Amino acid sequence: MTTTRSSLRRLASAVEPGPDAVGTARTIVIERVEPELDGGRYPAKRVVGDWLTVSADIIVDGHDLLGAALLIRADDEPEWREVRMRAGRHDRWSGRVRLTRNRWHRYTLEAWRDEVASWSDRLVRKARAHGPIAVELAHIFRGLGSQVHQVHRGEQVLRGFDEDVRAAVTRGLSARGIELHLGQTVVAAARAGAALTVRLAGGAELEVDALLAATGRRPRTAGLGLAEVGVELGERGQVLVDEESRSSVPSIYAVGDCTDRFNLTPVAIREGQAVAEALFGGRPSPVDYDQVPTAVFSLPPAATIGLTETEARARHGEVDVFRSSFRPLRHAMSGRDQPTLMKVIAERGSGRLCGIHMVGDDAPEIIQCLAVAFRMGATKADLDATMPIHPTAAEEFMLLR
Q: What is the rounded CA–CA span in Å between residue 334 and residue 329?
A: 9
Residue 319 gets which letter from DSSP?
Answer: E
Q: What is the rounded CA–CA span in Å between residue 134 and residue 121?
A: 30
CB 327 within 8 A of CB 351: no
- Please name which of 52, 44, 60 lies closest in space to residue 11, comparing C-alpha atoms: 60
- The yes-or-no answer on residue 130 being catalytic is no
> By three-state DSSP, how is residue 379 classified?
strand
Candidate list 105, 149, 331, 390, residue with the active-site label = 390
* Identity of the residue numbered 220: R
Which residues contact residue 335 at a Cβ distance below 8 angstroms, ignoring those fewer than 6 apart? Answer: none
Distances (CA, A) of 195 to 159, 190, 207, 214, 364: 31, 9, 6, 20, 38
Q: What is the rounded CA–CA span in Å between residue 289 and residue 371?
A: 13
Residue 359: how many CB atoms within 10 A of its CB? Answer: 29
In residues, how long is the chain? 401
At 253, give phi and psi (nearest 5°).
-115, 155
CB 344 within 8 A of CB 353: yes
Q: Parallel, antiparallel, or unpaired for β 81-84 and 294-296? A: unpaired
Residue 298 gets which letter from DSSP?
Answer: -
Q: What is the rounded CA–CA span in Å between residue 260 and residue 173?
A: 28
Sign of the CA dihedral running 221, 223, 227, 230? negative
Distances (CA, A) of 244 to 161, 200, 266, 284: 26, 43, 17, 8
At 142, give phi and psi (nearest 5°).
-65, -40
Number of H helices, E strands in the chain: 8, 19
> Would you name the residues annotated as active-site residues?
390
